[in-house]
Structure 1
Amino acid sequence: MPVQLNHTIVHASDGPRTAAFLADLLGLPQPARYGPFLVVQLANGVSLDVLTDPGPIAGQHYAFLVTEEEFDQIHDRITERGLDYWADPFHSEPGRINRNDGGRGLYWSDPDGHNLEIITRPYGSGRDG
Structure 2
Amino acid sequence: MSVSTVTHLNFRGDAGAALGFYRSVFGGDAVVITYKDAGNVHDPAEADQVMWGQVAAPSGFRVMAYDVPSHTPWDQGQNAFFVSLRGDTAEEVTAYWEKLADGATVLQPLAPAQWAPLYGMLKDRFGVTWVVDVVSEYASA
> TM-score when scaled to structure 2?
0.63
Residue 19 (structure 2) pairs with residue 19 (structure 1): yes
The structure with the largest alpha-carbon Rg is 2
Shift of 1:112: 3.9
Gaps of at least 5 residues in structure 2 are 39-50
Q: Which structure shows the higher strand fraction?
A: 2
Runs of 4+ aligned residues of structure 1 deviating over 6 Å after TM superposition are none
Name the SS of the counterpart of 1:31 in structure 2: strand
Cα gap change, 1:128 to 1:120, in 2 (>3 Å): farther
Q: Kindly indicate whether the alpha-carbon contact (under 8 Å) linking 1:71 and 1:120 is maintained by their aligned counterparts in 2.
A: yes
Equivalent position of 2:48 in the other structure: none
> TM-score when scaled to structure 1?
0.68
Determine which of 55, 59, 65 is the counterpart of 1:40.
Answer: 55
Gaps of at least 5 residues in structure 1 are 88-94
Q: Kindly indicate whether the alpha-carbon contact (under 8 Å) linking 1:38 and 1:51 is maintained by their aligned counterparts in 2.
A: yes
Q: In the comparison of the two structures, how many residue pairs are matched?
A: 116
Q: Percent identity?
A: 9
Alignment of 1:1-129 (within 5 A): 1-2=1-2, 4-13=3-12, 14-25=14-25, 27-33=26-32, 36-42=51-57, 43-44=59-60, 47-53=62-68, 54=70, 55-58=74-77, 59-66=80-87, 67-79=89-101, 81-87=102-108, 95-121=109-135, 125-126=137-138
RMSD: 2.8
